Amino acid sequence: MQNNFIKPEVISLKNSQVYNEKWLQSKIEEDPSLIGLGDLEFRNTEKILVGGGRLDTILYDPEDLKRYEVEIQLGKTDETHIIRTIEYWDIEKKRNPQYEHCAVIIAEDITSRFLNVISLFNGFIPIIAIQVKALKFNDNISLFFTKVLDETKFELLEEDTVTEPVNRQYWEDKANKNMLKLVDEVIDHLDGVKNEYKLKYNKHYIGLEKNGSANNFVNFKPRKNSVIVHIKLDKLEEYDDLIEEYDIEVMGYEKRFRQYRFKIQKSDISTNIELIKQLVSAAKENYRS
């Protein structure tokens, strides 16, 4: 059976009365996966920013806790577009520091000169450039998105190298003494940890150290009524299945730092310490290797 070849017609969205910027924006917001950045969620459209301006679209990656500030321009890119995109990214980054942020430029024609300008920022300002083409097949319209400039990826440093050391009193004041005692109890049950490591108190978490060096395959963040435990492991089915066997409060997997997160209280020492012991043991072995 011979298939018919159909040559599509390339449509200029900039010059179209129907398939314009609003139409393109709506299609991206209806299905953010179209642009090729993964299984993202639509969060906001035409957001009015403090100081003026409207941010076209905000998309969100719930696994990476990351927001994408998306600006759309039909036709060729220009200098004002890149300035506006970076400005909006910076505003959102400052207003929502709990997320990681990335600027995204979507345009019909991303010129080589424009790519050269963007590449000067890439690595300092996370920018992704995506070129979009609209093709018409008879009465049907299709969109093709091509990533022409990707965000530079950096290896994450050991958190100790960028956090300020403090002491135990700091955490007792910030949380309370009972939650520090709970951390001590967890450590006392970790046979492979308590004899080799000691607690290292940092401003944002309590980690481990051995011979003066950080070994953060597990770390703790005490709160007023609980302790958040982070265990550094790749997300594997065997770990997920093991976790399901226990009645522990799971805070989800933090993909960015490759770690499982749990919220524990005093009662977890008797009910869930075996789970913590097994996961920490696996994390310790992986850390060594």
What is the predicted pLDDT for the residue at 51?
62
Mean per-residue pLDDT, 111-135? 81
Confidence category of residue 115, pLDDT binned at 50, 70, 90 = confident
User: Is 75:14 a contact under the CB 8 Å cutoff?
Assistant: yes
What is the predicted pLDDT for the residue at 162?
46
CATH number of the domain enclosing 141: 3.40.1350.10
Is 38 part of any domain?
A: yes
Least confident of 136-140, 231-235, 281-285: 136-140
Same domain as 230, residue 167? yes
Domain count, the chain: 2
Same domain as 23, residue 126? yes
In sequence order, the 6+-apart residues with CB closer than 8 A to the CB of 103 are: 68, 69, 71, 85, 86, 88, 89, 125, 126, 127, 128
Query: Which residues in 19-48 are b (16+ Cβ under 10 Å) and which e?
Result: bebeebbebbbeebebbebeebeeeeeebe
Tell whether the model's pLDDT for residue 63 goes beyond 80. Answer: no
Same domain as 256, residue 193? yes
Q: What percent of the chain has pLDDT over 70?
A: 91
Locate 189 and state its tokens. Answer: 């049950």
Domain boundary (118, 149, 180) is at: 149
pLDDT tens for 143-191 read 999 998 887 544 343 443 445 678 999 999 989 999 999 999 999 999 8
| pLDDT mean across residues, the chain | 86
User: Is 29:42 a contact under the CB 8 Å cutoff?
Assistant: yes
Tell whether the model's pLDDT for residue 52 goes beyond 70. Answer: no
User: Residue 27 carries which side chain, given as an amino acid letter?
Assistant: K
Q: Is 52 left (phi over 0), alpha (psi -120 to 50) or beta?
A: left
Locate 123 and state its tokens. Answer: 């690595």
Mean per-residue pLDDT, 253-282? 92
Domain boundary (98, 126, 149) is at: 149
What is the predicted pLDDT for the residue at 261?
92
Confidence category of residue 270, pLDDT binned at 50, 70, 90 = very high
Is 103 part of any domain?
A: yes
Is 4 part of any domain?
A: no
Mean per-residue pLDDT, 95-99? 85
Q: Is pLDDT larger for residue 70 or for residue 120?
A: 70
Bridge-based pairing of strands 100-109 and 127-137 is parallel
Least confident of 72-76, 113-117, 188-192, 225-229: 113-117
Confidence category of residue 79, pLDDT binned at 50, 70, 90 = confident
What is the predicted pLDDT for the residue at 156?
41
The domain containing residue 184 runs over which residues? 159-288
